[in-house]
């Protein structure tokens, strides 16, 4: 829950956390960032800008008319952005961008990497956020750069997984167990690619919506066209990554099936090999008059020990071969 105001003061960018007693914002404010806002903070921004800030429920609506629209002097845009991309559970979260009165307002309930990176960049170079339009374009470019980095990292991970998948069975250290771990990693890469494509689709829609707005200056329109080309090239990379994921997924499942079939074949051969002795023993019942163990004091314990050994040795062998 934080309301941060970015404003220019004699060419320098200042970043202040607004409190409840703020009745107005500084004159050269370029960006108002609402991070997990309370209803009071939303009302405060509404009083400053005379617009309606969308709620979290409204941001999560999937209709295009609910995500991209013009309301009075405000241009409201919502798109999904990847969060926690480097974790085991990446997620997509809706973030709203609003342009009104020459400033940008962002409403978000997560803290994705592009925001912190963009803040560091504009602190070093305040000219990148000289206006709300420039701040918006810079932030969208940062999101696109982050998507490209995520896909490049996922591609490198898939290349490493590809080399592991196509190792021979003798070179693979853990057999089918290793393949199952590889399968989990491929699934994560596929999930990441899907979320990246979702973000790219939202970014393309947002840029297309911006390109038809007459209020944008010529420089901003040029940046929009360049960013659309970048987004299209990143989308092609995401499609390639999805194809690579599908190929490795099919290959890994095929290798797992082959290994399981080989194990089942060994079990079947062992069962057939022991079937004739079992048949003979079941016919005769081992009820012979001359059996030395019948009069042996430890014959019963010896038989139990053999049974236990006959159970342990196959289990030990199967575990050594990584079949269990």
Domains identified in the chain and CATH numbers:
2-258 (3.30.460.20), 266-320 (no CATH)
Position 146 scores a pLDDT of 93
Position 149 scores a pLDDT of 93
Position 20 scores a pLDDT of 81
Position 204 scores a pLDDT of 92
Position 171 scores a pLDDT of 56
Position 127 scores a pLDDT of 87
Position 286 scores a pLDDT of 66
Q: Over the stretch 60-70, which tens digit does the pLDDT of each residue have?
A: 887 777 789 99
Position 173 scores a pLDDT of 52
Which parts of the chain sit beneath pLDDT 70? 168-177, 214, 280-281, 283-288, 322-324
Instruction: Print the SS3 string covering the chain.
Output: CEEEEEEEECCEEEEEECCCCCCCCCCCEEEEEEECCCHHHHHHHHHHHCCCCCCHHHHCCCCHHHHEEEECCEEEEEEEEEECCCCCCCEEEEEEEEEECCEEEEEECCCCHHHHHHHHHHHHCHHHHCCHHHHHHHHHHHHHHHHHHHHHHHHHHHHHHHHHHCCCCCCCCCHHHHHHHHHHHHHHHHHHHHHHHHHHHHHHHHHHHHHCCCCCCHHHHHHHHHHHHHHHHHHHHHHHHHHHHHHHHHHHHHHHHHHHHHHHHHHHHHHHHHHHHHHHHHHHCCCCCCCHHHHCCCHHHHHHHHHHHHHHHHHHHHHHCCCC
Q: Is the pTM value of this prediction over 0.95?
A: no
Q: Over the stretch 200-215, which tens digit does the pLDDT of each residue have?
A: 999 999 999 988 886 7
Position 116 scores a pLDDT of 92
């Amino acid at each position: 829950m934080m309301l941060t105001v970015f404003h220019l003061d004699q060419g320098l960018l200042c970043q202040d956390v607004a409190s409840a007693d703020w009745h107005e914002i500084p004159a050269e404010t370029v960006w108002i960032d609402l991070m997990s806002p309370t209803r009071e903070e939303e009302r405060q921004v509404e009083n400053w800008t005379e617009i309606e800030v969308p709620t979290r429920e409204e941001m999560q609506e999937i209709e295009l008319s609910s995500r991209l629209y013009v309301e009075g002097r405000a241009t409201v845009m919502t798109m999904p952005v990847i969060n926690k991309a480097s974790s085991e559970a990446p997620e997509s979260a809706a973030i709203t961008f609003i342009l009104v009165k020459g400033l940008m307002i962002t409403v978000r309930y997560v803290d994705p990497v592009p925001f912190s990176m963009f803040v560091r960049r504009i602190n070093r170079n305040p000219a990148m956020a000289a206006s709300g339009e420039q701040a918006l374009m810079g932030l969208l470019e940062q999101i696109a750069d982050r998507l490209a980095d995520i896909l490049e990292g996922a591609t490198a991970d898939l290349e490493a997984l590809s080399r592991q998948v196509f190792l021979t069975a003798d070179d693979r250290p853990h057999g089918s167990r290793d393949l199952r771990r590889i399968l989990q990693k491929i699934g994560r890469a596929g999930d990441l690619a899907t979320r990246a494509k979702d973000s790219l689709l939202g970014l393309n829609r947002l840029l297309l919506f911006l390109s038809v707005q007459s209020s944008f200056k010529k420089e901003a329109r040029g940046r929009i066209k360049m960013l659309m080309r970048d987004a299209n090239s990143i989308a092609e990379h995401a499609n390639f990554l999805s194809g690579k994921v599908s190929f490795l997924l099919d290959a890994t499942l095929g290798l797992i099936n082959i290994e399981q079939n080989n194990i089942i074949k060994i079990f079947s051969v062992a069962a057939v090999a022991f079937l004739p002795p079992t048949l003979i023993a079941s016919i005769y019942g081992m009820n012979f008059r001359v059996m030395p163990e019948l009069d042996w004091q430890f014959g019963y314990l010896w038989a139990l020990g053999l049974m236990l050994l006959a159970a342990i040795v196959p289990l030990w062998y199967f575990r050594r071969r990584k079949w269990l």
